[in-house]
Amino acid sequence: MLLEAQASQLVLVDYQERLMPAIAGGAEVAANALRLARAAQLLEVPVWGTEQNPSKLGGNLPELRALCQRTLAKMHFSGVAEGLGEWLAPPARPAAGNARSLPKHLQKPAAAERASIVIAGCEAHVCLLQTALDLLEEEMAVWVVTDACGSRTDRNRDAAFDRLAGAGAELVTTEMVLFEWLETAEHPQFKAVHALIK
């Protein structure tokens, strides 16, 4: 199964100014998050952010925060525990129709809008992990962008990936996401997106 831009949302978890210097490979992790967010903007994929205890850890990196439609300040490690799930899954529309509508057993169930959640963030083994596991529990398709995730140690990061893969998350890289969102070299935004990874 491939990602589709029109079915995706991007969640950027806790790329906070005071936290990033402690993240192993933090500069590369942040650079990949920025690539994802810029590509999402070009391809009209909604981008959401979270910040863990921002009064203590500061806000997200300004260039990332500027690309988010909204940013959730949270105290729980999982963003879902503080309402992120409601942002990602809008309320179901009431059934419409009249006496001439198709009988219920012939109606197609409404597909969830943008049910593929592409997620990346820090720390991978705490806030990213707990948010992604809760999204899986909410029956969303979760795609974890491994090269845009970090922890203070590689061991903690890798343990998070092992656990997430076992729980049903897809592990991908930034370039996998970008090229799957594009689908073809003939996409009108191909050159602009490709320039982000050159």
Spans of all domains in the chain: 5-88+113-195
**Two structure tokens written together for 38:** 């810029």
Q: Which CATH architecture has domain 5-88+113-195?
A: 3-Layer(aba) Sandwich (3.40)
**Two structure tokens written together for 123:** 């720390």
Of the candidates 134, 37, 31, 150, the one whose C-alpha atom is nearest the C-alpha of residue 84 is 134
Q: Are 6 and 115 in contact, with CB atoms under 8 Å apart?
A: no
**Two structure tokens written together for 98:** 């009249």
The pLDDT score that the predictor gives to residue 6 is 96
Burial class (CB in 10 A: 0-12, 13-18, 19+), 136: middle
Judged by phi (left if over 0) then psi (alpha if -120 to 50, else beta), residue 97 lies in left
Upper half-sphere CA count for residue 69 (Cβ side, 13 Å): 13
The pLDDT score that the predictor gives to residue 90 is 65
For 151-190, the pLDDT digits (tens) are: 999 999 999 999 999 999 999 999 999 999 999 999 999 9
For 17-49, the pLDDT digits (tens) are: 999 999 999 999 999 999 999 999 999 999 999
The pLDDT score that the predictor gives to residue 96 is 54
For 84-136, the pLDDT digits (tens) are: 999 998 655 555 555 555 555 555 444 457 899 999 999 999 999 999 999 99
What are the strands, taking DSSP E only, across 146-193? Answer: 170-172
Interacting residues of 1 by C-beta distance below 8 A, sequence separation 6+? 170
Q: State which amino acid sits at residue 153.
A: T
* Main-chain dihedrals φ then ψ at residue 161, nearest 5 degrees: -60, -40
Q: Are 70 and 48 in contact, with CB atoms under 8 Å apart?
A: yes
